[in-house]
Each structure stands twice: as C-alpha cells, then as structure tokens.
Chains A and B, each alone.
Chain A
C-alpha cells in the first residue's frame, strides 16, 4: 500500500557523514542533503539548523540486565540531563541490540520536571508515575504519554550499537526546562 520511500538518510547518518559531532555546535544543512529525494524541489536548497550532539559511550549491551535501568548523563552534565539506559526485554521504538529492546530516556517529566528516576515499572515498560502529578510514559513507544499532563513525549536518547558498546548520539525531544538541549 505504501511504496518504499525514496533513499533517505537519517539525521544521525547525515551528521556522521558531515563529520559534525563536537558538542554544542549547530550546523547548517541543506534540506536536499538531509532528506535525499524527499524534499519538494523548491525546498531542496533551503537551510536547516541542526544541533550536533556529542557521541558518547554510555555502556555495553552485555552488561545490561533486563528491567534494570542504568543511569547516565546526556547530552551534558546538567542535573536535568540525568537519563536512563534500560533493556526492556521487549522490542521498542528506537531500540538497539539483537532484540531491539535497549532504549534510553531522559528522566525528568516533561510536565513540570518531576524526577522519574526510580519509578520504572518493569511489567508494563512504563516510566512513572511522576511523583508530582502522576504522568506515565511508555518506553516502548518513544516515551509517549500513557496518562497525564506532559506536553511532549519523554525525550528519547538516540542510541547506536558498535559491537558491544552503546553510544548516545542525540536526543529526540526537548528536555524539561530547556529552550535547547545543547548550545
């Protein structure tokens, strides 16, 4: 029903190709390069500004145990950058590893910033309820709100596996309290 999309580069692939990656830099890219074959002709030359996230090793696949979150900080060291790396034991959107079940998320509620570290619900692969107002997020669904008040998904840390190593390479979604995730 849906024809295969034209060849397309993911943003991460693009950034790798460009050699961008120094933390804090923002690069200007042409839409035509970013979405090859997927941009209207008149927009192909337009420029988009994209933040270039640091690529940082945050753990290894073999060290992860199912349903045991591991804390790390990303993209920087701001207290609000505290994130969870977790092997869900179930396929998930954005999951890496053989089971596509390893995901990572920021741990501050995108409602009013309540701390979500410590409230992982293994049975349902949900982070929450937020101790402030009870919002819950589905970690198999890119951090979608299950119930509650957040006006964004829980920001998902983009992961990449290189052998056994797990690298964080970006953040999808705006981290609570920020106007930009990185500068």
Chain B
C-alpha cells in the first residue's frame, strides 16, 4: 500500500478534492458517519468550498519530493514553513526511508513533521498536477520553534491554487467591464487602456487626480514597484495604504518618543517579568508569539481590552491582570497608572536620568534639531514634549490623571489600576520589575496619538524601551513588507497642519470631494477596510457605475473614449488588482480587473515583527495569466514611458530595491552586496538562510552578514562600520536627535470633544471590532476552507448577557446593528489657526456630515464582553463592521478611530446554527 504509486484509485480525501466535478463537492460531502442521512444544511452563505468533510488520511511526501522553505503569508509573526512538492501518482510511506521527512510514523507528541488533512493540497507545477504539503518547519530554532503554528498558517496549504478545489475561482486573466459585465481581455489591451487614461488624467487633472490604494505589506519586490510608480514616476500625493486613509506613522506617539514600533525581538517577551499588553490579545492575533514566547516565559501579562479572550483568561489564571477598559479611554488609564508610579516614587530614576531627554536635548541637535519636524507639527509645535520634571509636574496636577476620575471614565476599578502600577514598577527586593509594553490597534485605532504617546511615556517611566526584556513595541498585524523607492511627495499633499507644514492626504475624503479621477487598487477591498464603509460605497457607486460614461465595447479606442469622458465629467475610473474578485470594489465598481500572482507563486521577500527577513519561495504555478504585482506595474510603467522598470525577475527587483533601504530599519542592502561578492543572487543567499533568515537591519561584520536582534540597545557592540554597513544612531540609542527618548503630555481635551459626541446614548451601544484567531483579514482565503467556514460560516457579534436580555437576544439569533449617526468629515484639508482641525472647529465650519450604516451578524451572548459594548469581527466583507465607524480622523495624525463604532441592536430572526451540529460553536472562547 505505502510507498507505492497507485494512479487508479483515489483516497477519500483525494476524491473529495479532485474526483467529482467541482460543483458537486458539497453534494458529495459525507454526512456525519454513523448518523442517519438527513437533509443537508444549506450551504454556508460565505464559504465557497462546500461542507467540511474530515479525511482520515493525508499523503506523505516521498523521499524525492522537492522541498522549499518559506514563511507563512499571514500574521506578523511569520512562522517558518516548508513546502513539499511531488508529482501526482506518487506517495511516501510511514517508514523513515519512505518519506521526505526521514522519520517514522506515527509521529510522537510535539514531534512535528506531521501532515494533517488540511495541510495537503494539489497544485500545478509547469502545468502538471502535483501534490503539495505545507507544514511548519519542525527544525527551526527561531519564531515557531519546533514547528509550532497557528490555525491560520497551519492550513496555508489550502491557499494554493488548485484548479479543481475551492481556490478554483482565482482571477486568471485581465477583465474589462463592457456594458456592465466583466469580459476577458489581453494584458496588452488592459494596460494600453490604463496608460491612455492615465496620461489623460495626469495631463488634464494633475498628479493628485491619479491615485493608488494598495496593501503596504505584500512583499518588498511589489511595494518597491508600487512606491516607485506612485511617488517617483507619477509623483502623486493621492496614495493610501490598505489600513489607513494616507501614508505615515501607525503609532506616531511611539515614534515621537523615539521608539521604533518594531524594535523588540520575540525573545524579549519571554524575558520580561511583566508585560503591559494594550489593545490586542496576541493569542488571537499573533498566536505563536503568545504560545511560543509569552506562555513559555514567566511573563505576567496585564491585558487592556474591553473583551476577555483566550489569552486574557490565561493571563488572569497565571498571575496576570485584566483591565476591562471602556473603548477609547486608554489614555486616562495610562495617565492614572503613571501618576501612581510617580506618587510612590517607583519610576526608574537611573534610566530616566540616562535616557530621557532634558529640555536642551529636546530642542538641540545638529542642524535644525527637532524644530520643523513631524514631531513638532504633530505635537502642536512642540508643546506636548517635555522633560521628566515637566512631565511629573503636569501629571501630578492634571485632574484627569487622578485615580478616581480615571477609574470613572475608563470603567476600570481603582484597585486594579493600583495593582497594575505595582506590577509594572514597584521594586521587588530593591529592584524594579522587568516591564515590557505592547500595543496594537485596540489602542492606537481608538485614540491614535494620545493613546500611543501616553503609553510610551508610561513605559519610559518604567525603564522600558532599550533593554532585553524591557522593550516597547507594537504587536503587529500583518508582516513588514514595505520598501519605499522614493519618499511620499508630501509637498504636493492637499492637506496642511496649522502653521505651514503639509501632512499626508486622507484619500477617502479626497475621493468624496470628487478630486480623484483614476484609482488603482491593489490587494485591498478599500471600501470595507475604511470607516463609514457604506457611505463610501455610495460615493464609489456614484462616481463609477452611475456615470453615464460606460465602456461600450472591448476595444482600446471605445474604452479610452468612454473613460476620458467619465473622468472629465467628474467621475472616476477604478482598476482593481487582486487574487480574487472582491466586491463591491472589483465585482461592481472596477472598470478593469487584473489577476495577481501571490505567495508560493513567485520568490518574494519580507520581514516579520522582529524584523526577520526570509525568502518566501515559489513552488507552484500562478493561475492562468496571473502575474506578480511588480510585473504588472513594470509593464504599465513602460507603456507610460517611465524609465528603469526593465526588471528581469523578482530577484532583480529585490537587488535594485536594496539600496533604497540603506539607513532604514528593514535595511538588507549589505546582504545583496555580500551576495554579489560571492557571485550569488540576493534571493539565493536568502534562500540559503532558510526559515531562520536574518534580522534587519543587516550589517557586515568580518565580511559576513549579521542581523540585529533589538533596536535602541546600548549594549550592542557595533564596532567600526565596514563597507556597505550603515550604523544608524537608533541602533544603540533612541530615535531622536539627542538619542534620548522624549516624554509627552497627553491632555484629554485634544480628544474629549469628539469622544463626548460619539459616546453611545439613547439605546446605543459601543460597537468595537477586532481580529479572531481563526480568520485572516477579510477571510479571502478562509472562505475557501470548508474547515474554517464550519467554524465561522457568518459574522458574529458578542453581546453581554444583560444587554442581550434587554433586547431579547439569545445566542444564535441573527441581529442587525444600525447607526444613523455616523459622523463623516468633509473638506477641512487645511488648518490655519491652532485648533482649526479640532472636532469642535470642524463641526462649526460645516465640515461634519451625518451618514448611516448597518451591520448584520449572529449573536453570541457572553459575559466575556463588557456590558454596553458589542464586539464583532473587523473585516467581514459582506457586512462590514466599519460601516458603524465614524470617518473623522485624528487631526494630529489623520488616523481613523476604527474601534469606536456605535449602534442600536435588534433581533431579526434565528440563524440556522442554533440547531446545527456542523457549523458554528457557541462554547466560550475563554476556557483555559
């Protein structure tokens, strides 16, 4: 049976994947064995893979299977994986000499090198069917040591394009919308139309009317091409990454303090004695960081969230603390803890003396110092930055930092705030605890600047920021995949702070104002990803489908003529580039849809959350004519007449991009220099480093590439810079002019006018949102995994039992959440006077309009969520939670407050899952 080839028969799983016509998969899925067959439940609304039918075998790779190293495509952690690929018709056996793992089966507990049913798939290699098993690298000594993994990455084999499996609906050819229908066209025609219309828009409407909305992370080779096109060749300010309305910092309060958002190493989280984790549960969203590094250390975790999750429950059980905060109030929690620390004299004086800037150091420095920098514009011309004495004086007299007041507003009991201060800073045996601080979107997407800046100040008081086990870092969402070919052309931005400095665009407001005429969207849904989604959708529809100028036939002349008329009459042309057709941006609004190749279909490179650079190997074919994004951009750019886009392959882009990263945190230029000296390609050297990779910035020491474990670390012995090595100051000091960190005052009144206006009233509840363990982003891959869709066939909303009782809702009911008070900023691009961009002034000036939004979900009644707060998944595209979120950005940073939606909830019926044993579980997620 084993180790043999048997083409005539199929295993049951193979049959389910391949044997039947794809459309019949759901029909053929086995009923639960041992049960009397009965009417199958209706197909999941969102999934496209049919019902989940567990298999009881998985083929093993034979000894001669090809082995490729890669890392997971999904969350920030980027676990190391190996892909085993072998031709159809062969199968390995259970003895060590019969399989590519070289081990005997069955495997022991924690033995790794096991292929589960969902870790196997079929793919095409050079057009021929092959098996592929993608399994965590059990030999790795970094990140996911021993082959640990999450459910997301664990199932990543199912991402692979399988022409007869659930991924069969990948985009395969360029599509043009002719008379409302998408029809296949050639690459040449698609790119000719784009180039003709682009030239017209640039010539007639200017660079700011030509824009891009793209992922910021889907591999260096692609983002280098994107930034080269947008910022260097076109020179447009109309650019925004997938997760925010414009470029720039995510957690600017950290940057302004001098702390890089990804300075820490994963080991630091196991070295910390206490970790303050704000606005995220790493168990859910950075799983292996939690299960491999935080759980295995002795770290006591203080969790700050409105909702108890698995990781929070585990932390509470293991000496940690849960601060169940009312959404949006984190700043006051930070201030109250900081004040208790100062009142008790628990601050790390030695660290502060050495590493926190005094007034002269804040202002001084070579050249212009901190004057006229983003720090100064953001911090209202430096008024927030202060030294330790100034901070202490302000905080001890600031009424909102007083314990009882902060407890009232944050909803966190005073004794817990006191306990948090003790855990973080009270000396034990004369020594301060090693405290580290993590923040993520629950923190900086509810009150962007003040939350991140106040957390940084609290951390600095505790002596955190530049030492092993004493770090300050974002946890991270997606991986770090941006490589900028040119800086954002901020001088061309239409937005301006009070004073004379420009700030980055809010692209959504720019669209709403009718200023964007050509939009190229790459790898994002845009509409559901941004605030007030349904209002944004209306705008897109008006500018595209409701324009009288639609393409009448699939010729260059007819298409270009129609689209020129559209843009000249105030409409917009939309091009979408993706791996699946997303709606509405692609399915409804796009005039052109371009098929992209992705993970596993091209050699790519990227860093994870500890700046670990790896090669993500190509091991199978992309579908049809799909191409990597860098290729598509290069062909468009050539048609536009732009120079230096004649890249041969992805390695060529990787090597060309390298020199643009010199001096940056993700700098890998020395690796490319080293490779060339060895007569090798950059990708080749990276491939040799396997799943271990190397932590950027990379330096050359004794002629060899050396990684950097931690940033800002004064104990890092750099030695003299050699060759291509760049010794940036922030390697061994904080990232400020003086090298010392800066404390910031964070007065609540910079936020309170907006916060009071959006606080729920009259039957409204807070509606906050976030990720969950089982789903990645918009579930674009998960929707094609029957295994995941059985768990989450629909969006869900968690509601506290008291709220549920009030509204007559029980678990399994379908509910609708409505917000008829969605605030939307219109205009207000330019600030002149000091507080012109404050919410109060914007409202007075008529720049706030009121829209509406709805979201539907299946209710889960649980006391895990705070009373008065609903929690739902962030990115369920069919019913986006962001519809309930106000589109008024933080005026200091132009970042939305995605976590602060609100609405009224009502029951609309009962979901089928109430009486279904095969889909959705209502068991608590907090059983630890």
Contact = CB atoms under 8 A, between A and B. Distances in A.
A28 B1 CA distance: 12
A54 interface: no
Given A94-B35, A152-B54, A38 B27 contact: yes
Contacts of B295: 133
B115 interface: yes
Contacts of B925: 136, 146-147
Nearest to A173: B54
A155 B116 CA distance: 11
B310 interface: yes
B12 A10 contact: no
Given A10-B34, A111-B154, A40 B923 contact: no
B280 interface: no
B56 A1 contact: no
A125 interface: yes
A151 B37 contact: no
Interface string A154-170: 01101110000000011
Given A112-B147, A146-B927, A149-B151, A35 B28 contact: yes
B8 A47 contact: yes
Contact of A134 (B40, B111, B291, B787): B291
B119 interface: yes
B109 A114 contact: yes
Interface stretch (B13-21, B252-260, B530-538): B13-21
A132 B106 contact: no
B419 to A, nearest CB: 24
A2 B39 contact: yes
B909 interface: no
A12 B920 CA distance: 26
A152 B149 CA distance: 13
Given A49-B9, A147-B925, A158-B34, A43 B119 contact: no
B109 A112 contact: yes
A72 B9 CA distance: 33
Given A11-B30, A179-B115, A180-B57, A149 B150 contact: yes
Nearest to B136: A112
B800 to A, nearest CB: 18
Contact of A170 (B34, B283, B291, B921): B34
B60 A141 contact: no
Contact of B927 (A8, A129, A152): A129
Contacts of A179: 57-60, 94, 105-106, 115
A140 B914 CA distance: 12
A43 B28 CA distance: 11
Nearest to B13: A174
Contacts of B151: 145, 148-151
Contacts of B59: 179
A4 interface: yes
Nearest to B112: A112
Contact of B155 (A12, A151, A173): A151
A48 B774 contact: no
Contacts, number: 231
A84 interface: no
A183 B39 CA distance: 33
Given A94-B33, A179-B59, A151 B40 contact: no
Interface string B278-296: 0000010001000100010
A10 B33 contact: yes
B918 interface: yes
A28 B9 contact: yes
Interface residues of A, number: 79
A80 interface: yes
Nearest to A49: B9
A2 B32 CA distance: 18
Contacts of B20: 39-40, 43
B148 interface: yes
A21 interface: no
A50 to B, nearest CB: 6
A92 interface: yes
Given A125-B923, A170-B34, A174-B58, A149 B291 contact: yes
Given A142-B918, A152-B54, A152-B787, A10 B35 contact: yes
Chain A contact residues: helix, strand, loop or mixed: loop
B794 to A, nearest CB: 15
B42 A181 contact: no
B904 interface: no
A31 interface: yes
Nearest to A46: B19
Given A48-B15, A178-B106, A94 B32 contact: yes
A173 B117 contact: yes
Given A111-B154, A152-B117, A174-B117, A158 B39 contact: no
Interface string B23-61: 010011011111111011010000000001011111110
B647 interface: no
Contacts of A35: 28
Interface in A115-153: 115, 121, 124-126, 128-129, 132-134, 136, 138, 140-142, 144-153
Contacts of B35: 10, 93-94
A85 interface: no
Nearest to A174: B117
A8 B30 CA distance: 10
Contact of B110 (A38, A43, A92, A113): A113
B917 interface: yes
A171 B295 CA distance: 33
B921 A169 contact: no
Interface string A1-15: 110110010111000
Contacts of A48: 9-12, 15, 19
A113 B116 CA distance: 11
B118 interface: yes
Given A1-B42, A171-B56, 14 more contacts: A10-B37, A40-B20, A43-B19, A48-B10, A49-B10, A124-B923, A124-B924, A134-B314, A141-B917, A144-B790, A145-B921, A160-B34, A170-B33, A177-B114
8 contacts: A5-B37, A10-B34, A40-B20, A49-B11, A51-B57, A146-B923, A148-B151, A179-B60
Interface of B: 1-2, 8-12, 15, 19-21, 24, 27-28, 30-37, 39-40, 42, 52, 54-60, 94, 105-112, 114-119, 147-151, 154-155, 283, 287, 291, 295, 310, 314, 773-774, 787, 790-791, 917-918, 920-921, 923-925, 927-928
Minimum-distance CB pairs A-B, first 9: A93-B917, A113-B109, A173-B54, A177-B106, A177-B107, A151-B154, A158-B34, A147-B925, A138-B921
Interface of A: 1-2, 4-5, 8, 10-12, 26, 28, 31, 35, 38-40, 43, 46-51, 78, 80, 91-94, 96, 108, 110-115, 121, 124-126, 128-129, 132-134, 136, 138, 140-142, 144-153, 155-156, 158-160, 169-181, 183
